[in-house]
Amino acid sequence: MFSSQGNKCCVSDSEGDVCLWQVGLGSNFNKPIMSLKCHNKTTSDVAFVGSSSLIATGGHSSESRNVCLWDTLLPPRSSCVHAFTCHEHGCPALVYAPHHQLLISGGRKGEICIFDIRQRQLRHTFQAHDASIRCLAIDLEEDYFVTGSSEGDVKFIIFVTGSSEGDVKIWALDAHQLILSFQGEHSKSTFFRNMGSASGVTQVAVSPGHHLFSCGVDGSMKFRALPERDSIVRYWTS
């Protein structure tokens, strides 16, 4: 994950660690500028929050402190500035909406949590998928967020989710309503060997032209054109 300025790169691993690298001409790539133990079981995802110094992590920790905020300008021992108690079984994915200053996280039981970063509190939670949420995406204009599940479906909240079932869903960020759902967009069966228990949707992305890209463990990448926001509003009110 790169910062919006492109000057820092952050990587998480299954041991719960996050490493931060400075990127650019003259940078030393032999070792990270900072290493943090963020979650004591695993760290699944990381996102820059507003700047290149504040990051959010999603993972699995004791006492369900599974979404955390970290100030990388502070010493490592005091760098955790807030921990949200959520997603009892862990948080595999998160995404930040900078215009709204909202952090969206997905859980292993298919639930979505939306946090207000300014107030450092949970704003809303709802059930998005019946299986684990594998990935999240939001478009640059923050009209959409997308979820992908292990079921293989893809869904939109003017953000997008992808699940382990293979579904992709699209949701309205402000209204928390489901707009579109692509059931079984990606098969739960895997095209790759040595993927362990991975299944369904592995990644989703929304391009500036409101195009949705998704890929899954079935070895496919799919492309869809999303409807304009005005047409979606008319659909909601019909």
Residue 229 — very low, low, confident or very high, per pLDDT cuts 50/70/90? low
The model's pLDDT over 171-194, given as tens digits with 9 standing for 90+, comes to 888 777 888 899 889 877 665 555
195 or 133: which leads in pLDDT: 133
pLDDT in tens, 208-217: 877 899 999 8
- Lowest model confidence (mean pLDDT) among 20-29, 100-109, 172-181, 182-191: 182-191
Cβ atoms 166, 215 nearer than 8 A? no
Find the mean pLDDT for residues 109-121: 95
State yes or no: pLDDT of 143 exceeds 90.
Answer: no
Report in angstroms the alpha-carbon separations of 104 from 125, 198, 225. 10, 22, 23
pTM of the full predicted structure? Answer: 0.86
Q: What are phi and psi of 38, to 5 degrees?
A: -90, -40
Which of 134, 91, 148 minimizes the C-alpha distance to 114? 91
Q: What are the Cα distances from residue 208, in Å, to 118, 191, 211, 219, 225? A: 26, 29, 7, 25, 11
Q: 28: part of which helix (H) or strand (E)?
A: none
**Average pLDDT of the chain to the nearest whole number:** 85
Contact status, residue 93 vs residue 107, Cβ threshold 8 Å: no
